[in-house]
Structure formats: C-alpha cells, structure tokens
C-alpha cells in the first residue's frame, strides 16, 4: 500500500486516490483538430519506465494534482497543485 | 480449519483434530495402496492423464484424495476480526536475540517500537539453545529485555506473524489469540523496519526421508528444552554442519543413545560428549513402515533407530526482505542465499543476515536499528559461541528410492529430474510442473534442496538457477482476518433511502439498483402482477415515487454557465433562470456518459441532475474539468445528493395532489410550465418543485431536506387518497419510461453509443463552442452509416415481450450475423402489448422493416418502430 502526498490533505493511502492520466497530455480544442492529434490525446500514452509525472485525484477531498514518482521502485518524489503545464496555459 | 500444520497449532482444551488426505485415518489409509504404484504416478501425472475428455470430470475425486481439506460453508466467525492501523518508529520482526537487541537499542534511543514474533514466547533460539548475554543466561536475558520493553510502553506482540511487506513500509501482521477470539490484522507503518526473521533448518536428502520419526535436529532440541519431551531413545542424527551437535549432546545427556552421521570426515570441532560420531558418512535410506525403525548408510552399514534427526544447514528466512524487492546473494560459506544490498529504511539482523554466533547476532541486531539505534555499548554473547562449518549435502540425481524434497506437496528427487528432462529447467517452471514449494509451507524447507538438485542436473550453479519469487503471505492468513468488518451486509454496503422505513411499512419490496436499496414494487403480492398494476394505475390517476437517489450536484460561480456549456453536449447557457433542460454528458471519446436534467436556479447557479448510480463518477468528472480548465475560483461544485429527498408526483391528477400540499407556489401552467422550476415551502422548510417527467405524464419532482422528507411523503399519501394514488416502485417506473422511449444510460446505451445514435443530432451539427467529446463526433467511426441506433421494436399481436439481450440477426453471405440487441423490454398494461427498445444497426433507416430477433436459439420477428410507443405528441406532459 503506497502513500501518496495530497497537496491538500498530506500523505494518504493509495486506495483513496484515482489515477487521472499522464501529466502534460493537453487537450486540443476544436472540431478541426486533426484525427492524429485527437487520437494522440485520447489514446496514446508514453507509459514510461522509471520517472513519471502523472495527474491523480484524491477522491476524499476531490483535489486533482500532479505527482512525480518512479514507476519501477514506486518512490514518490513529490506532488504539486495543478500548474500552468497541466492547464496548457 | 483445513490443512493446518499440526506442529504450529497451539493445543487447546476441547480441540478436535484429524488428518487430511488420508481416508479414513493416516494409520489405516485406504489410499495407501496408491503408494505401491508410485512409479506410475510421476510429476504432472494428472496433467498428462486426465486431460481427456475433461479434467473437471476427475477433479473432485482427486481433490478429495489430495487432501485440500473440507471447508464448512456455513461456518461463521463468532465475532468480527479486529483490524488495527498502527504507526511507530521501528518495527522489529522476530524476537530472537538479534530482534531483541534491535528493539532494545531503538527503545533506548527513545523511539517507539513494535516487536512482533510468531511464537507464543519470545527469545527464538535463546529459548532452547545455550547462550549468555553479557554474562546473563540466555532465557533470563530474554525475559528481562521483554519486561524492560513492555515497562517502557513499547508494544510486544506474540503469536503474531508478519506475513507481508508492502510498498512504502507497510507491514501486515496477523495476531492469533489463545482465548478463542478471531485473529487480529495489524497494518503497521513504521519509519524503520528491522527483519530478524531467523533461519529454517533444512532436511537431509535420503530415501524414505518422510517416515514418521524423522524430524529436524533443532525441533528435537526445542521439544527437549521447551517442553521436556525426549523425541526418541535410539537416535541417529544426520548432518553436514556443527549446529546438530548441541541437540545431539543434549539428547544424549537426557538419556538417549545418539549416533551422529556427519558427511564431513572429521565431524564438528566442538565437544562430543556421550555421542558416537560416524564421520564421512551419509544416510542412504531410512527403514520402517509406519514409523522409522533404522537407517542404512552409504557404505551399507545399518543402524537401528526409533528417531532420525536431520540438519542439512540453515536457510535464512528472507521472505519479507525479498517481498521488499531486496536482492539476494549466494553464500558458499553458509550454503544459502542471504540478503545482499541494503534497502532504504529496512535493516536485517541475525540468522536471516547470515550470522551464526550469538555475538554476531546481537551486534547485527543493534546495527540494524540504524539511525534509530542508541549509542550504548554493544551486547556481548559470552560462553561457547555457535559455529556452522556447513558443507553442501544436496540431493543427487539418480539416487535410488524415493528421496522426498517437498514433504507437503509430495515431490521427490525423481520428479525434479523428470521435470528437468522435459525441459522445465526454469525454477518457476519446475515449481509449477512439480508443485514443488506450492503447499501451505510454500517450500520453506524444500525449495533450496529442489533448486540445488535442478542446478546439479542442468549443470548450472545454484545462484544461476535462482529462487522463485517470494510473495505474501508468509504463512496462510484467515480470510476472516483479512476481511475484518467487511463481511455480510458490510462487504459492499448499499446506500439507503431516507424514507426506507416508510416504504417498508407500505409493503415495499426492496432490491439493489446501482448501489442503492430501493423499492422494486409495493404490496408484497406476486411481483409481476403488482408491477403491472402499478404501471396501469399510474397512467389512470396519479403515482407517488421516491426519486431521492437522483444526483443533485450544484454548480455555482461566475463561469458556471460557460462550465455547463462545456460539460454538456447541449447548449445550456441559453437556459433561463427558473427553467430546466434535458441533456447528455459525453466522454471525450464522444460516447454518452450520462443524461439528465440541468436546472438553472439563477444566473450563476445550476443543479446537475444525473443518473442515480452515476453520481460519484459525474461529480469527479465535473471536479476534473473545473480544476483543470476553469479554475477553482471561477466555479464551485457541491454534491448535495444525500442532503435532499426528491419525491415525485406523476399522472393526470398530479397537479391536484400537489396543490393540496399547499406549498405556496403558483402551479398553473403559465407560472410553472413543463421544464420549469418553482420554489415553495412545506412546514417551514424550503422545497424546490421541478416539472420534469420520466413517466411521460405531468410530473412534479419536489425536493426537500432529507431529514424533513417524512412529513411531506405522509402528506402526499394522505392527499393522494382522494385520487386513488398508487406508490410506484422502480420496476413499474421502468415500464412507464420504456413506453415513452426514455432511455437509461448503460442499459439502453453501450460503450459505443453517441448522441446522434439516440436521435439527438442537433448540437453535433449546430454547436460552435467547445464541449466534452466534440471532436470525437466527427471521426470516421462516428460518421459511419452502420452505427447501432436506438429504435423501438414491436411484436405481432398477442405475442409475449422479447427477451432483453436478444439479438437482431440477419443473413449475410450465407452466415447469420448480429445487427444489434434488445436493451429494454416490458409488457405495457396501458397499451395492452409489449414495448421494447433496441440498439440496431442503421436502425433509424429501418423504421417499418421487420427483422429477425434471436434468443437462446429461438428466432422471432419484430418490426422496427420509433422508440416512443405512447402519447407520441407528448400531450400528457401538459395534460
């Protein structure tokens, strides 16, 4: 059972969280987006081995946040509130 | 409890024990005759023999014989198992000398400590092996150390097995209780873990080494010194190391005649008082039928014996270390795998770390506490120190007789040879092919012997062969302990209506719908007839329905209108305050995710009404887009579903009933038309009255504080009496909505259904602003003309309803293929014929066409019609 740091609540057990996808998967707007670009947003994932940056949601408080962790040894290096990068702004 | 290991179960008054996989008893086992055919029952015998015609024909008999035991399906624990979450600075697993030294060191440094040991009494080897700590006799030192820990308020858990080490320092422990209480599950999250889990003595390979009367040398010493039991009078000890000499000498001193058969020419260096040592010899075979009677040595000598002790070296108990992904290294000096690289936050100490002498164990214990240890001087082992001097004594290929490797799974050296011969040379394949290490002890005594033999046969080194993966649990854990309170009705707790008691008093028969316990129908009569009668009466007069489960999520803020526009497929920002609009929410893949009515209370305040079983998912989705796209200070979201009860009045006389409730709101159609909202009061509480309909009849949904709903419901029933009001269960509501062609998401839609498949194509072509799922509505798949589309299906007069799930079929190229399926199907009491909804390929273009519908091999005909079968003009909504 992993411990994840919710930026709002502090460390909590992983069963309280849902995975929200890879960070930086920005949503392209508009009906004219190319099929390739849209399919990339919907389906294509890097699934990195090692260092990852992901979006998670803490279901008990509703906070969506970015978390950096290692997908091999499960070490969590930190988490942060959603920032400019995740918003694409 | 089946398959318990007799030597590890604490004796208790009144305990009933019997052997498994023997019939009727072990002494008179009628299956023992199979033993004579052993040569015809090699490894994988079952896989090879019972493949044809079907393993399942043979499985029950074989399982019964193989002794998996019998479980009483009616058994219930007397009480719920406790589950305890605990935090501490240092958790020490194992209360032998190393573990005690580690715990004492951490405690002395002022840290909180949990010391857990799977035995009833702490001390480990110090309880039966000689040793002194700082000049104090071992057992006395153990008692004093434990007393000091307890006195300092530290937690010492006996009969507690640490069975799993999980991510981020979570250790799961199962604690047994002598007083008959069910086991307790501990989830301990320490800052540092010390593994002082010891080592397990290995058996020695020789033919018939499974006869009763053959046991480990350390066990014999433990029986003698812990329990005062002498295991035999004529004892032969087979060994390859020094550790067997203390038991040998002790047993001799207790009056047994002891002969040590040591594979090393010179035996042990230590004193051998009162025992005979045969150096450079091994046992070839044990003799005896139901118990050991003697042994034959490799040189042909025979020795009489009523007990044979074996000591083939020590296997460090690295399970928890390996579960933590710790790397192992082979030690020639110890003839065993030991932990190699250190893991952050986890220390290993004592025999598991490869120490032999008491001094080394104590020193490694203090060191294993790491930064949590104290700087006080190290404890010293004094007196005679243990030595090992182990040499390899592995099973050899082509040995005669049956040399048992895994005593529990009945795997012999020949089985391992056979597996290797058939090219199962990976240790993981060997395990699965022969079942080596797959019994309840998970190979704790057998694995190393097995893989050493495999290494020999395949000409590899033992480290090259490697070990199988260590997985939790270390020993079997009762499901009752793992489940705790999550059993029975608490296993998957249902959500309950605030008015459940009132519905039960009215004869409501409850069923679970999407996690909610709701009345399926009322009256307690025959279900089918009750449901039909409710649906019929609802169309004639008026029906009362508890719709409290419907989602009520408030969306508030300056960007709320923009937000709901983005969330919904339909344009919602044009909605006027005081009105509501039906719409779809899509996923970004364009598939319909939920449907429902959006209420606009004022410029910046909306209420999202979503499917009952979907509230949490919709709420999470709203939060995601709010935080990711709109900003926390622009939109605020509040899930108020549980705060309100929603009670619905529906039917031709609905308005008269609602008027009688005296809610203080104007109910005339000019003031409150269909799809409008009004505020009122009932008994001092604010209520919200929404004219939305899931029945197709004029309906009023009245929402009130959940804790004040009872009086309103009672008043509704009272006023309804004059109009012959009927209580509507969920089943009859399903008929009413199907008559109208109103869909239920997930029932009348599947994971491919897009809004234009449901006949709502307007926003797709007309909307210019961005919304969730928009781009996906213009993909090749979305534009296809072959999509499954929502239709109604009509059957010939007098026929029964179609089966839900039945497939529409057609012949193409001589083959029958599915063209979709029936999603909802009911007998309509009002129409006097069945109604059905279906998702049919190109359905919208097929209206009027008759298709074949197949169910369980029976093909019927049905005509494709519009989804709505009742009141096509929708007059009753306003009637």
Among the partner residues A1, A28, A35, nearest to B167 by beta-carbon distance: A1
Is B346 within the bounds of a domain? yes
Pairing of strands B516-521, B495-496: parallel
Residues in CB range of B336: below 8 A, 6 or more apart: B199, B313, B314, B315, B316, B330, B354, B448
Is there a contact between B776 and A42 if contact means CB atoms under 8 Å apart?
yes
Beta bridge partners of B304: B294
For B192, list phi and psi in degrees, rounded to 5.
Answer: -135, 145
Same-domain status, B347 and B207? no
Q: How near does any CA of chain B get to the CA of A66, in Å?
A: 11
Angle at B766 between CA A43 and CA B627, to 5 degrees: 45
Chain B interface disruption, residue of A42, A56, A73, A80, most B CBs within 10 A:
A42
Question: Where do we find the tokens 């395990």?
Answer: B431
Q: What is the pLDDT of residue B316?
A: 97
With CA atoms as reference, report the closest residue to B465 among B394, B565, B567: B394
Mean pLDDT by runs of 10 across the 879 residues of chain B is 76 80 63 62 65 68 65 81 97 98 96 97 95 94 97 97 96 93 96 97 95 96 96 96 95 96 85 86 94 95 96 96 95 95 94 96 94 87 86 92 89 92 91 87 89 93 91 92 90 94 97 95 91 96 96 96 97 97 97 97 96 92 93 92 96 96 95 96 96 96 97 97 96 97 96 97 94 96 96 96 97 93 98 98 96 96 97 90
For B777, name the nearest residue in chain A, comparing CA atoms only: A31
Please tell me what DSSP assigns to residue B494.
Answer: P
pLDDT at position B33 is 61
C-alpha dihedral (B703, B704, B707, B708), degrees to nearest 10: -130
Which residue's entry shows tokens 């369980």? Answer: B856
Q: Does B283 fall in a domain?
A: yes
Rounded Cα–Cα distance for residues B412 and B210 (Å): 10
End-of-domain residue from the set B342, B363, B381: B381
Backbone region of residue B755 per phi and psi (left: phi > 0; alpha: psi in -120 to 50; beta: other values): alpha
- DSSP of B337-397, one letter per residue? EEE-S-BTTEEE-GGGGT--SHHHHHHHHHHHTGGGS--SPPP-EESSPP----------T
Residues B216 and B296 in one domain: yes
B595 within domain boundaries: yes
Q: How far is CA B446 from CA B96, B221, B397, B458, in A?
A: 23, 21, 16, 18
Same domain? B120 vs B242 = no
pLDDT band, very low/low/confident/very high, at A89 (cuts 50, 70, 90): very low
| CA pair distance B840, A74, nearest whole angstrom | 47
Q: How far, in Å, CA of B817 to CA of B832, rounded?
A: 32
Domain total for chain B?
5
Does residue B685 belong to any structural domain of this protein?
A: no
Q: At CA B848, angle to CA B847 and CA B852, rounded to 5?
A: 95
Task: Judge if B184 and B116 occupy the same domain.
Answer: yes
B386 in a domain, yes or no? Answer: no
Does B169 reside within a domain? yes
Per-position DSSP letters for B401-464, written without gaps between them: S-BEEETTTTEEHHHHHHHHHTT--SHHHHHHHH-TT-STTTTTTTHHHHHHHHHHHHT--HHH
B208 and B276 fall within a common domain:
yes
**pLDDT digit string, tens, across residues A7-47:** 999 999 999 999 999 999 999 999 899 999 999 999 999 99
User: Which chain B residues are within 8 Å of A38, Cβ to Cβ?
Assistant: 775-776, 779
What is the Cα–Cα distance from B308 to B446, expressed in whole angstroms?
18
Whether A73 sits inside 8 A of B623 (CB atoms) is no
Can you say how many angstroms the Cα of residue A4 is from the centroid of all Cα atoms in its chain?
Answer: 12
Same domain membership, residue B194 and residue B88 = yes
Residue B718 in domain: no
Closest Cα in chain A, distance from residue B845 (Å): 27
The C-alpha atoms of residue B366 and residue B378 are separated, in whole angstroms, by 7
B627: contact with A, CB 8 A cutoff: yes
Domain that holds residue B18: 6-66
B646 closest CA partner among B709, B592, B604: B709
Domain end call among B639, B656, B677: B639
| Res A85 pLDDT > 60 | no
- Torsion, Cα of B431, B436, B442, B448 (10° steps): -90
The domain that holds B570 is classified in CATH as 3.30.70.1400
Structure tokens belonging to residue B398: 């082509």
Say whether pLDDT at A88 is over 60.
no
Query: How are strands ordered across the β-sheet holding B685-690?
Result: B677-682, B685-690, B699-705, B644-650, B543-546, B726-727
Chain A residues near residue B591 by CB distance under 8 angstroms: none
B166 in a domain, yes or no?
yes
Instruction: Please give the structure tokens belonging to residue B753.
Output: 């259904």
Q: Outline where B55-126 has alpha helix (H).
A: 55-66, 97-108
A vs B, Cβ pairs < 8 A, gives: 53
> Could you tell me the maximum CA-CA distance found in chain B, to the nearest angstrom?
112
| Cβ–Cβ gap B623/A30 under 8 Å | no
Residues 6+ apart with CB under 8 A from B337: B315, B316, B318, B328, B329, B330, B331, B448, B463, B467
Query: Could you tell me which residues are beta bridge partners of residue A66?
Result: A55, A80
Please report residues of A whose CB lies closer than 8 A to that of B590: none
Q: Tell me the average pLDDT of chain A.
A: 91
How far is it, in rounded angstroms, from Cα B377 to Cα B490?
52
Q: Which two tokens mark B741?
A: 């062609």
DSSP label at residue B539: H
Residue B50: predicted pLDDT: 64
Complex ipTM, two decimals? Answer: 0.94
Q: Is B774 in CB contact (< 8 Å) with chain A?
A: yes
Q: How many residues does chain A have?
A: 89
Count of Cβ atoms closer than 10 Å to residue A26 Cβ: 13
Give B94's DSSP letter. Answer: -
* Chain-chain contact of B627 with A82 (C-beta, under 8 angstroms): yes
Which residue of B566, B775, B776, B782 to mutate against A (max A Cβ within 10 Å)?
Answer: B775
- Same domain assignment for residues B258 and B320: no
**Binary contact (A64, B624; C-beta < 8 A):** yes
**Contact present, B335 and B243 (Cβ < 8 Å):** no
Interface of A with B (CB under 8 A): 1-3, 14, 18, 20, 27-31, 33, 35, 38, 41-42, 57, 59, 62-64, 73-74, 76, 82, 86-87
Strand partners, B83: B185
Residues B191 and B332 in one domain: yes
Which pair of structure tokens corresponds to residue B529?
């007839």
**CA separation, residue B602 to residues B422, B433, B560, B609 (Å):** 77, 70, 10, 16
Write out chain A residues lying below 8 Å of B623, CB-based: 57, 62, 64
Tokens of B689: 């009255």
Q: Do B774 and A62 touch (CB under 8 A)?
A: no
Q: B631 and B752 share a domain?
A: no
Report the C-alpha gap between B351 and B198 in whole angstroms.
5
Chain B residues with CB under 8 Å of A73 CB are: 325
Q: Is B17 exposed, middle or buried (0-12, 13-18, 19+ CB in 10 A)?
A: exposed
Chain B window 699-728: which residues touch A at a Cβ cutoff of 8 Å? none
Is the domain of B110 the same as that of B62?
no
B863, B745: one domain: yes
Residue with the two structure tokens 């040592």: B277
Place of tokens 């240890």: B373
Please give the sequence-ordered ranges of beta strands (E in DSSP) within B719-874, or none if there are none: 726-727, 788-794, 807-812, 815-828, 833-841, 850-855, 858-865
Chain A residue with the nearest C-alpha to that of B170: A1
Are B765 and B859 found together in one domain? yes
**Count of CA atoms in the C-beta half-sphere (13 A) of B483:** 16
- Lookup: tokens for B369: 């506490």
The last residue of one of the domains, among B358, B381, B404, is B381
Separation of alpha carbons B729 and B732, rounded Å: 6
Q: Which residues of chain B lie closer than 8 angstroms to A64, CB-CB?
A: 623-624, 627-628
For testing contact with chain B, the best of A24, A29, A36, A63 (most B CBs within 10 A): A29
Task: Return the CATH number of A3-26+35-87, one of 3.40.630.30, 3.90.380.10, 3.20.20.150, 3.30.2270.10.
Answer: 3.30.2270.10
Is some CB atom of chain A closer than 8 A to the CB atom of B638? no
Q: Do residue A31 and residue B778 have CB atoms under 8 angstroms apart?
A: yes
| B620 interfaces chain A, CB cutoff of 8 Å | yes
| Residue showing tokens 């069975």 | B163
Of A1, A18, A73, the CB nearest to B166: A1
Could you say which of A3, A59, A82 has the minimum Cβ distance to residue B628?
A: A82
d(CA B792, CA B739) in angstroms, rounded, equals 9
Quick one: three-class SS letters along B274-329? CCEEEECCCEEEEEECCCEEEEEECCCCEEECCEEEEECCEEECCHHHHHCCCCEE
Q: How far is CA B836 from the centre of its chain?
A: 39
Would you list the DSSP string of A14-45?
Answer: GGGEEEEEETT-PPPPSTTS-HHHHHHHHT--
């Amino acid at each position: 059972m992993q411990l994840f740091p919710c930026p709002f609540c502090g460390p909590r057990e992983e069963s309280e969280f849902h995975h929200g996808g890879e960070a930086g998967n920005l949503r392209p707007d508009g009906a004219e987006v190319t099929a390739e670009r849209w399919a990339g947003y919907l389906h294509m994932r890097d699934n990195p081995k090692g260092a990852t940056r992901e979006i998670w949601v803490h279901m008990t408080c509703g906070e969506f946040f970015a978390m950096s962790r290692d997908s091999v040894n499960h070490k969590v290096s930190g988490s942060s509130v959603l920032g400019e990068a995740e918003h694409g702004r | 409890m089946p398959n318990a290991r007799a030597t590890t179960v604490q004796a208790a008054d009144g305990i009933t024990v019997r052997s498994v996989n023997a019939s009727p008893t072990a002494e008179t086992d009628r299956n023992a005759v199979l033993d004579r055919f052993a040569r015809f029952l090699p490894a994988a015998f079952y896989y090879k023999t019972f493949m044809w015609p079907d393993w399942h024909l043979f499985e029950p008999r074989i399982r019964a014989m193989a002794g998996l035991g019998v479980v009483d399906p009616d058994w219930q624990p007397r009480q719920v198992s406790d589950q305890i979450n605990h935090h501490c600075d240092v958790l020490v697993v194992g209360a032998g000398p190393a573990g005690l030294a580690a715990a004492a060191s951490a405690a002395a440094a002022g840290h909180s400590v949990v010391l857990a040991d799977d035995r009833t009494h702490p001390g480990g080897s110090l309880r039966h092996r000689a040793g002194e700590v700082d000049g104090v006799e071992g057992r006395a030192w153990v008692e004093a150390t434990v007393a000091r820990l307890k006195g300092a308020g530290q937690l010492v858990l006996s009969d507690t097995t640490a069975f799993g080490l999980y991510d981020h320092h979570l250790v799961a422990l199962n604690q047994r209780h002598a007083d008959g209480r069910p086991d307790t599950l501990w989830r301990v999250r320490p800052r540092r873990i010390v593994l002082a889990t010891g080592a397990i003595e290995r058996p020695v390979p020789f033919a018939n080494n499974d006869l009763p009367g053959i046991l480990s040398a350390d066990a014999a010493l433990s029986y003698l010194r812990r329990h005062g039991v002498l295991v035999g009078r004529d004892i032969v000890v087979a060994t390859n190391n020094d550790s067997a000499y203390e038991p040998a000498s002790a047993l001799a001193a207790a009056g047994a005649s002891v002969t040590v058969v040591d594979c090393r020419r010179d035996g042990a260096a230590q004193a051998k008082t009162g025992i005979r040592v045969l150096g450079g010899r091994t046992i070839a075979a044990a003799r005896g039928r139901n118990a050991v009677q003697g042994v034959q040595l490799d040189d042909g000598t025979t020795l009489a014996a009523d007990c044979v002790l074996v000591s083939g070296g020590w296997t460090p108990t690295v399970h928890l270390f390996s579960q933590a992904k710790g790397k192992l290294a082979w030690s020639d000096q110890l003839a065993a795998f030991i932990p190699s690289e250190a893991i952050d936050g986890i220390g290993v100490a004592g025999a598991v770390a490869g120490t032999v002498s008491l001094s080394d164990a104590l020193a490694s214990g203090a060191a294993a506490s790491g930064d949590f240890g104290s700087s006080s001087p190290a404890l010293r082992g004094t007196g005679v120190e243990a030595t090992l001097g182990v040499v390899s004594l592995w099973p050899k290929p082509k040995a005669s007789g049956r040399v048992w490797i895994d005593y529990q799974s009945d795997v012999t050296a020949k089985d391992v040879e056979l597996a290797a011969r058939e090219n199962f040379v990976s240790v993981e394949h060997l395990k699965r092919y022969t079942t080596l290490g797959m019994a309840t002890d998970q190979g704790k005594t057998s694995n190393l012997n097995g893989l050493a033999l495999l290494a020999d046969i395949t000409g590899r080194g033992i480290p090259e062969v490697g070990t199988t993966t260590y997985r939790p649990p270390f020993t079997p854990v009762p499901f009752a302990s793992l489940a705790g309170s999550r059993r029975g009705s608490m296993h998957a707790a249902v959500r309950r209506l605030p008015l459940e008691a009132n519905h039960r008093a009215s004869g409501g028969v409850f069923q679970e719908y999407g996690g909610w316990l709701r009345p399926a129908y009322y009256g307690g009569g025959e279900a089918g007839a009750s449901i039909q009668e409710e649906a019929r009466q609802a169309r004639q007069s008026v029906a009362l329905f508890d719709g409290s489960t419907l989602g009520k999520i408030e969306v508030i803020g300056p960007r709320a209108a923009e937000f709901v526009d983005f969330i919904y497929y339909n344009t919602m920002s044009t909605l006027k305050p005081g009105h509501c609009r039906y719409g779809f929410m899509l996923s970004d893949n364009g598939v319909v995710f939920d449907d429902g009515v959006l209420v606009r209370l004022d410029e910046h305040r909306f209420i999202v009404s979503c499917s009952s079983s979907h509230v949490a998912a919709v709420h999470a989705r709203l939060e995601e887009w709010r935080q990711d796209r709109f900003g926390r200070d622009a939109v605020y979201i509040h899930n108020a579903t549980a705060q309100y009860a929603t009670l619905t009045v529906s039917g031709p006389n609905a308005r008269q009933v609602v008027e009688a409730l005296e809610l203080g709101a104007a109910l005339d159609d000019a003031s409150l038309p269909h799809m409008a909202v009004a505020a009122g009061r009932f008994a001092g509480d604010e209520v919200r009255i929404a004219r939305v309909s899931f029945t197709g009849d004029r309906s009023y949904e009245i929402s009130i504080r959940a804790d004040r709903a009872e009086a309103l419901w009672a008043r509704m029933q009272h006023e309804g009496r004059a109009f012959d009001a009927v209580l509507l269960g969920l089943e009859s509501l399903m008929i009413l909505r199907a008559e109208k062609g109103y869909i239920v998401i997930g029932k009348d839609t599947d994971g491919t259904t897009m809004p234009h498949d449901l006949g709502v194509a307007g926003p797709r072509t007309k909307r210019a602003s961005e919304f969730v799922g928009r781009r996906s509505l213009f993909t090749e798949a979305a534009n296809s003309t072959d999509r499954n589309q929502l239709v109604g299906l009509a059957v010939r007069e007098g026929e029964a309803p179609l089966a839900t799930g039945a497939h529409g079929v057609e012949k193409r190229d001589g083959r029958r293929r599915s063209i979709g399926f029936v999603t909802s199907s009911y007998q309509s009491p009002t129409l006097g014929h069945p109604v059905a909804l279906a998702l049919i390929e190109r359905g919208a273009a097929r209206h009027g066409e008759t298709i074949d519908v197949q169910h369980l091999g029976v093909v019927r005909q049905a005509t494709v019609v519009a989804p709505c079968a009742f009141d096509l003009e929708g007059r009753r909504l306003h009637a």
